[in-house]
Structure 1
Amino acid sequence: MTQGYRDFVVWQQAMDVAVETYRLTSSFPKEEMFGLTSQMRRAAVSIASNIAEGEGRKSKNEFSHFLGIALGSKSELETQLILSERVNLLKTTDTEPIKKSLDDIGKMLTALRRKIGSQKNLE
């Protein structure tokens, strides 16, 4: 039995990234709670959420659109991770694994969008 978006490896990895983002930002100073902490957590959650929402719409056009939003959130989180390194909130050794996961997620999202686009053209 398929479970929709939960069957997508990209959604599963995006969920792992969200959990890791929460872990990494838990050590941020309290004054960042409504700044970088909040921004990073929202961006991380947005990746998996947009995959789920797009698939749930049951429209290839809308799914592709929401995958594009997920790609944007992925780039946003990458930028915030780099900023966190530059302002000495995180070490590169802490961010490298999550940035690698984000690279993989980006490739999977792009491939999925292409696949959906080719299916739209066949209908």
Structure 2
Amino acid sequence: MKIHGNKKIRHNDLDVYRISFEPGMGIYHTSKLFPKEETYSLTDQIRRSSRSVSGNLAEAWRKRRYEKAFIAKLSDAEGEAAETQTWLEYAHACEYIDK
């Protein structure tokens, strides 16, 4: 693990992790307002994919010594971000959220 001064750098110290975590929490709180009939479709999907972005970034940080695994996890994070964007487009089209 890299050490900055006397402090080890953890995944939650990374800007990219914090930047991905905050929207994931925002999506969670916003999705509480979605209709009940969306619970097992849109709500679950958007929460899962938005949380997976920061989850995959955390895994990538732990696997950074192994280039292929690191890149694969970053690719997974990017894919989950794209999926989240798609679910947000659906939520907007269904008029559950504003643009």
Q: TM-score range with shorter-chain normalisation?
A: 0.7 to 0.9
3-state SS, counterpart of residue 74 of structure 2: helix
> Who is 1:59 aligned against?
66
Q: Distance in 2 between matches of 1:9 and 1:2?
A: 15
CA drift at 1:39: 0.2
> Who is 2:56 aligned against?
50
> Who is 1:10 aligned against?
16
TM-score (norm 1): 0.71
3-state SS, counterpart of residue 91 of structure 1: coil
CA drift at 1:64: 1.1
TM-score (norm 2): 0.87
4+ residue segments displaced more than 3 Å: none
Report the aligned-residue RMSD: 1.0
> Who is 1:70 aligned against?
77
Which has the larger share of strand?
2
Q: Deviations over 1:99-119 (max 9, x none)?
A: xxxxxxxxxxxxxxxxxxxxx
Aligned length: 92
3-state SS, counterpart of residue 34 of structure 2: coil
Unaligned runs of 5+ in 2: 1-6
